[in-house]
Structure 1
Amino acid sequence: MGFVLCLVSATGFGLAPLFAKQAYAGGMSVTTMLTVRFALAALLLWGIVLIRRRPVRMTGRTLAVVIGLGAVGYALQGAAYFGAVATIDASLAALLLYTYPALTTILAVALRRTRADRRRIAALTVSGTGLVLLLGAGFDAGVGILLALTAAGTYAVYLTVSETLPEDLDVFALTAIVCTSAAVSIALGATITGGLHAPAVPSAWLWVPAIAVIGTVLPIAAMFAGVRRVGASTAAILCGLEPAVTVGSTALVFGERLTAAQLAGGAAILAAVVILQTRGPAMTPARSAAAPQTRSAAATQARSAAMNHSNAGTFGVNGSQPLSVPSSAQ
């Protein structure tokens, strides 16, 4: 059941870019889509918080950090990622986003939260090779690539900051606050820049609830339940299905195709995630199973969200081992 739940989560986050592209085809702007998506997701998550009836306790400082994570970190990550999806093939954007585990590892080493052992160096080398293959395959969509890499970098910082949060925070309350903050932040920015407007085709509105429910809230809940059963590292590896779903679904619906070099690059990036999640012999199953509650509280937003994504979207883990969700976090 834990495996199934994690795969359901990865599938939901992986479908978010497909739904977004359908909304864009109807004339919906990125900021309008994200504002409504985060607002709907926040309403659903607050409903879950009320149903669960668990006390939500956090200090003023913690609340400020969580609001900042949503209003700045998750809002920027979501805008950059879904902006990339509107500019380049969603399959390429999804694979570029998955460089965030390597970027998070680099940050962890730079901040001396972990050490650059052979396993991490190997993972960074493999991920870097994959990135070179992705970027060297004849693409000239510089803005879209830059947006996707910005999303990956922002998400790496987001996960690093969320590591500082208390371990006993309720994941759904945390995610609800993040999504609420992101919705308000993006709505204010879009209002100032004139980015909020109704799509030319009214049916485009139908895709936004799909992103909010199937691409955000459902995968967040499924990932939370799945991590509790199989552990954070196993769940992170299973999340490798997320970009595969994006690649497959956009190829089926929009005819997007990756070159052989890009497929090899994507495979290398996902292989790096597996290497990073492979624990040494000193890590016992008991310790692995103890991590999920902490890690899920750190980044279950819609990878991606908080997520995807993330797709948004996403569960934060310790510096060298980010567990995706945001992407949709996405």
Structure 2
Amino acid sequence: MVEHAAGTAAERDRDRVGVLLVLIAGVGFGTLGIFGTYAQGAGLSIPTVLLYRFFVATLAVWGVLLAQGRLRLLRGRTLLAAIGLGSFGYATMSGLFFLGLEYMTAGLVAIVFYTYPAFVVLLAVVAVGERVTRTTVVALALALGGVGLVVGADPAGASQTGVAIMIAAALTYAAYITVSRAVLETTDSLLLTAHVLPAAGLTFLVGGSITNDLAIPGTPTAWGILVGVALLGTAIPVFTFFAGLSRIGASRTGIISTAEPLVTVALGVVLFAEPLTLPTVAGGGLILSAVVLLQTA
């Protein structure tokens, strides 16, 4: 009985730590839109922000793996898949996300982007042939209805261009997740991330060099924004997300991660006085309800 109680207590502690770690990840990822808005104000181009983001985050991830004795180079098809995921998938999604901030507030960007879990399910149906369930249909209807409500509530703030960009970002991220699942069947998740991040960074190095959009920050404020994006918005949440995932499982991690857009909306209201209307809240609630429904199905 004593051993059973101790085991139960240990499981509860592990559970609480896992939930806390995923919440920390949600808060960290939720700051990306905020830092992106600050970056625009500081005159930092999208290629500059994302190059530094992925470069610093890569050093952080490699450092941890090296300290753990787990850093190694992927090979063959797995390496090619990781490069493709980073240079095409994650890079495209990140570029679209920050581009969306030029058309909408950080809160609206986060809300529309968070339709991606519904698109993950849709891609599974189309690409993998998973069965279409009533839950899937209801979740997709909730997610798309939420987007419609947000746009209809503030057609000026949620421009059609901005919404289209963020839907494209959500679809790209859904495709990235779908392909990643296959790779992760034989590859450690953090090791895969260690290859995806530099591949994404190299994309912006090459693209920014061609368009002459790269610049070395000239002020402490600009450097602070870039460090914030790389560490608070990328490296730290990557670590805490995977650590939490290993403790509480994928479904609960997905549900708790819905804190991410809520954090962005709250910070946008506090820091930038972004408008928060009842229809916008209702639309965001529909989208998050779709995510929870999919995770608990």
Query: Scaled by the length of structure 1, what TM-score is found?
Result: 0.81
CA distance in 2, matches of 1:157, 1:73: 7
- Work out which of the residue numbers 214, 239, 243 in structure 1 matches 2:261: 243
Give how far 1:142 is off. 2.9
Question: Is the partner of 1:87 in helix, strand or coil?
Answer: coil
Greater relative CO, 1 or 2 (CA 8 Å, sep 6+)? 2
Contact 1:39/1:183, CA 8 A, preserved across alignment: yes
Identity of aligned residues (%): 39
1:154 equivalent in structure 2: 172
Q: Which structure 2 residues correspond to residues 132-211 of structure 1 after superposition, within 5 A?
A: 132-140=148-156, 141-198=159-216, 201-211=219-229
Contact 2:88/2:200, CA 8 A, preserved across alignment: yes
Q: Is structure 2 residue 92 aligned with structure 1 residue 76?
A: yes
Q: Deviation digits for residues 156-185 of structure 1, max 9, x if unmatched?
A: 111111122142422222111111000000
| Number of aligned positions between the proteins | 279
Question: Is the partner of 1:210 in helix, strand or coil?
Answer: helix
Task: Go from structure 1 to structure 2 and tell me whether the alpha carbon gap of 1:55 and 1:198 turns closer, same or farther (over 3 Å shift).
Answer: closer
1:50 equivalent in structure 2: 66
Q: Which range moves more in the overlay, 51-60 or 262-271?
A: 51-60
Q: Which structure 2 residues correspond to residues 261-280 of structure 1 after superposition, within 5 A?
A: 261-279=279-297
CA distance in 2, matches of 1:201, 1:124: 45
CA distance in 1, matches of 2:257, 2:221: 31
- Work out which of the residue numbers 214, 218, 231 in structure 1 matches 2:236: 218
Task: Go from structure 1 to structure 2 and tell me whether the alpha carbon gap of 1:142 and 1:194 turns closer, same or farther (over 3 Å shift).
Answer: farther
Contact 2:33/2:109, CA 8 A, preserved across alignment: no
Contact 2:22/2:245, CA 8 A, preserved across alignment: yes
Q: Deviation digits for residues 28-59 of structure 1, max 9, x if unmatched?
A: 11111011111100111111111111264744
2:127 equivalent in structure 1: 111
2:5 equivalent in structure 1: none
Contact 1:20/1:208, CA 8 A, preserved across alignment: no
Task: Go from structure 1 to structure 2 and tell me whether the alpha carbon gap of 1:209 and 1:199 turns closer, same or farther (over 3 Å shift).
Answer: closer
**Corresponding letter in the other structure for 1:100:** Y
2:143 equivalent in structure 1: 127
Which structure has more helix as a fraction of its residues? 2
Q: Deviation digits for residues 93-125 of structure 1, max 9, x if unmatched?
A: 001101111111111111244211111111111
Q: Is structure 2 residue 47 aligned with structure 1 residue 26?
A: no
CA distance in 1, matches of 2:197, 2:71: 19
Contact 1:26/1:202, CA 8 A, preserved across alignment: no
CA distance in 2, matches of 1:19, 1:55: 30
Q: Which runs of 5+ in 1 are unaligned?
A: 280-330
Q: Deviation digits for residues 45-94 of structure 1, max 9, x if unmatched?
A: 11111111126474411110110000111110000001112331010000
Q: Which runs of 5+ in 2 are unaligned?
A: 1-16
Provide the aligned C-alpha RMSD in A. 1.6
Contact 1:56/1:169, CA 8 A, preserved across alignment: no
